[in-house]
Amino acid sequence: MTNIRDIAAEAGVSVATASRALTGKGRVSAATVERVRAIAQRHRFQPNEIARSLSSGRSHSLGLLVPDITNPFFPELMAGAESAAKARGQTILLTAALGADSAREDLSVLRARGVDGFIVVGNPFDSAEQLREAAGSRPLVVVDRSESVTDLSTVVTDHVEGAALAVRHLIELGHTRIAHISGPPGLDVTDLRVAGYERELRAAGLEPRVVDGDFTVESGAAAVRALLDGPAAPSAITTANDLAAIGAMNAVLARGGSVPGDLSIVGYDDIVLAALVHPGLTTVAQDIGELGARAVEELERQLTGDTDVRTVSLSTSLVERGTTGRAS
């Protein structure tokens, strides 16, 4: 491995000058810069990032904590973050942790590895305070949590508006009995989407009806069965996420029903999977990759000294596919 000493020697300058020439920081004559860089290039010299980190205190790496890689929502977000990071010369250190304990542990490991900051998707802890503590005073941006994290930069989509969008679509199709399958109660994302759902429904003079779910396929299936078997079955539902919507759809199909014939369904997220089921899932789209990319951008902003807390909110849109139809 050729190191900066070799380069400096060959260029006939000190290591310090070579460093300045390479990084572009500090005064160096244009001539030396050119000479040093040419030599570095010829040797395909890659400065040792470890040494660089140790001495400069910055590692050009970002810790990304996601709750669950196998939920297709997160890889899409990771992809967005990864490419944004790469474009800025940062590397992603990935870790997946579900519970608070493992999250604390994982953040600690990443901290020891010197990540410059964290992107945390969701909040594995009970409070923003605990999260901040686990991040150890390092810059931090939270994705997809809004209410519960104050004083922390966040990147979110407008859940209230998104949920309202779904309801509006169903109302336009003539539906009047519209239920909502929610996420885990208490979670801010859940509550926000429920709020949007209820607001829009009430505005139309209709009665809201919420069944709790937990973002899983199974919970969507269970909820829809309960709904369909109960009194005054709905003709349409909105769901907290696409996975639950797909579970709901499968449950209807499994009992010989038809979608949207017997039940119109609107998902939420627009994961790639939404377009792959048959019929294609009508859903509230958020640009998931963008969520990750903006988080990187936000973090980068904080790393360059801008300390004010900011909330970037992305908009959502409805994408109509095959799971919604006119009320009969």
Partner DNA sequence: CTGTTAGCGCTTTCAC
Partner DNA sequence: GTGAAAGCGCTAACAG
**Residues in contact with its own copies by the rule CB under 8 A:** 46-51, 53-54, 59, 61, 69-70, 72, 74-76, 78-79, 82-83, 86, 91-96, 106, 108-114, 217, 243, 246-247, 249-250, 253-254, 272-273, 276-278
277 binds, among its own copies, DNA, none (CB under 5 to 8 A by kind): its own copies
Query: 55 or 70, CB closer to DNA?
Result: 55
Out of DNA, its own copies, none, what residue 249 binds, judged by CB under 5 to 8 A for its kind, is its own copies
- Give the residue among 74, 72, 71, 122 at the shortest CA–CA distance from 99: 122
What residues from 1 to 40 belong to the interface with DNA (CB under 7 A)? 1, 3-5, 12-17, 19-20, 22-23, 25-32
How many Å apart are CA 305 and CA 164, to the nearest integer? 37
At its nearest, how many Å lie between DNA and the CB of residue 34? Answer: 10
Our finding on whether 110 is near DNA (CB under 7 A) is no
Coil vs helix vs strand at 12: coil
Rg (CA), the chain: 25
56 forms part of the interface with DNA (CB under 7 A): yes
Rounded Cα distance, 106 and 101, in Å? 9
Least distance between its own copies and beta carbon 246 (Å):
6
Please report the DSSP string for 185-202 in residue order: TT-HHHHHHHHHHHHHHH
Give me 74's structure tokens. Answer: 């997160």
Query: Which of its own copies, DNA, none is residue 106 near (CB under 5 to 8 Å by kind)?
Result: its own copies
Phi, psi torsion values for 142, nearest 5 degrees: -105, 135
Kindly state the smallest distance separating residue 105's Cβ from DNA, in Å.
18
Residue 97 and residue 112: Cα distance in Å, rounded?
Answer: 17
Q: Are 95 and 64 in contact (CB under 8 A)?
A: yes
Peptide bond into 260 cis (omega under 30): yes
User: Whose Cβ is closer to its own copies: residue 104's or residue 159's?
Assistant: 104
Nearer CB in complex with its own copies: 192/277: 277
